[in-house]
Amino acid sequence: MEYDLPLFRPPSEANSLIIQATLGCSANTCKFCYMYKTKKFQIRPLDMVIRDLEWCARNVRGVRRIFLADGDALAIPAQQLVTILDRCYALFPELERVTSYANPRNLLEKSEDDLRKIRQAGLTMIYYGVESGDDALLKKIKKQATSEEMLVGCEKAHRAGMDISVTVVLGLAGKKGSERHAKLTGELLSKIQPKYISALTLMLGPFEKNYARSMGEDFEFLDKLDFLKELKILVQNLEVKNSIFRSNHASNYLPLKANLPADKQRLLETIEYGIKHPEILKPEELRAL
């Protein structure tokens, strides 16, 4: 089996078998994301996906988790995805879960009945990029969805029985829009009530100038303390009933993990400590995508 590179997966899928059910991202318009810019989106033929699964079943032992790549396996027609999931569990008797990325369009375009069938076939959790709860910012970064549309899609996935791991991106709005971005994002996550919340830090590498130019003349990137202040506002506006919060991605200056709401005060105190003691923050050279 050969992968079509580049290949990406969430940090929590480090020990998962990765199967490419799609190539690229069906949206691929977000200004801050360069993961799949070198690929044209396509749904891989079913027989090729099954062939990869069968090869892995012969050659890989002890598979407990499978991640369906690339950008959004939920773009696959429901019955085809159910067939893939059925084969996953049939070929790997120790398999405990299958997960994938999803985007707003995936959830909006599929019926709740289709999502329920996909969940019953074994897609237990989706990784969903909310990025921000600020509609003006979402439009500016070309997310192709409003905060209300994302809420509707996530509610549909929840009713179908899927867990949701949501990602947000600190720094998207720059200094001028930082507080609004953080506040509205916290409020949106409070409505979604995801099982997992992951905060990533904007990191563009050689594409920084392009992003800044596209965001307007007055756009200024956040410095490391600005990122923590934005994160603090986001957490202050989080009202969730049972969520695991993480900012342990390689891009983050301060690795954090908390069970919310129980650990909310401790989390805020840790962020405040990082603001007052910047010497504990991760050096730039150790950050990575």
- 5 part of a folded domain: no
Residue 84: its pLDDT value, please?
Answer: 99
Distance CA(190)–CA(237), nearest Å, equals: 8
What's the sign of the alpha-carbon dihedral 186, 249, 257, 14? Answer: positive
In this structure, what CATH number is given to the domain that contains residue 167? 3.20.20.70
- 285 part of a folded domain: no
Q: If we measure between CA atoms, which residue out of 195, 185, 208 comes closest to residue 12?
A: 195
Record the tokens describing residue 144, joined without a space. 């192709």
- 54 part of a folded domain: yes
Strand partners, 167: 129, 198
Strand partners, 197: 166, 245
- 140 part of a folded domain: yes
- 187 part of a folded domain: yes
- 213 part of a folded domain: yes
Residue 74 CB neighbour total at 10 angstroms:
28
Residue 288: its pLDDT value, please?
Answer: 60
- Are 67 and 37 in contact by the 8 Å Cβ rule? The answer is no
Distance CA(30)–CA(190), nearest Å, equals: 23
287 pLDDT above the threshold of 70: no
- 150 part of a folded domain: yes
pLDDT digits over 235-270, tens only? 999 999 999 999 877 778 898 999 999 999 999 999
DSSP annotation string for 157-178? HHHTT-EEEEEEEETTTTTTTH
Residue 77: its pLDDT value, please?
Answer: 97
281 pLDDT above the threshold of 90: no
Q: If we measure between CA atoms, which residue out of 173, 269, 166, 163 comes closest to residue 214?
A: 173
pLDDT digits over 115-136, tens only? 999 999 999 999 999 999 999 9
The enclosing H or E element of 125 equals strand 123-131
pLDDT digits over 4-53, tens only? 999 999 989 999 999 999 999 989 999 998 888 889 999 999 999 999 99
The enclosing H or E element of 183 equals helix 178-192
- 37 part of a folded domain: yes
Please classify residue 49 by burial: count the beta carbons closer than 10 Å to its beta carbon, then call 0-12 exposed, 13-18 middle and 19+ buried.
Answer: buried
What residue has token string 């563009």?
204
Count of domains for the chain: 1
pLDDT digits over 181-216, tens only? 999 999 999 999 999 999 999 999 888 999 999 999
Residue range of the domain that includes 127: 11-280
284 pLDDT above the threshold of 90: no
Query: pTM score, two decimals?
Result: 0.94
Residue 19: its pLDDT value, please?
Answer: 98
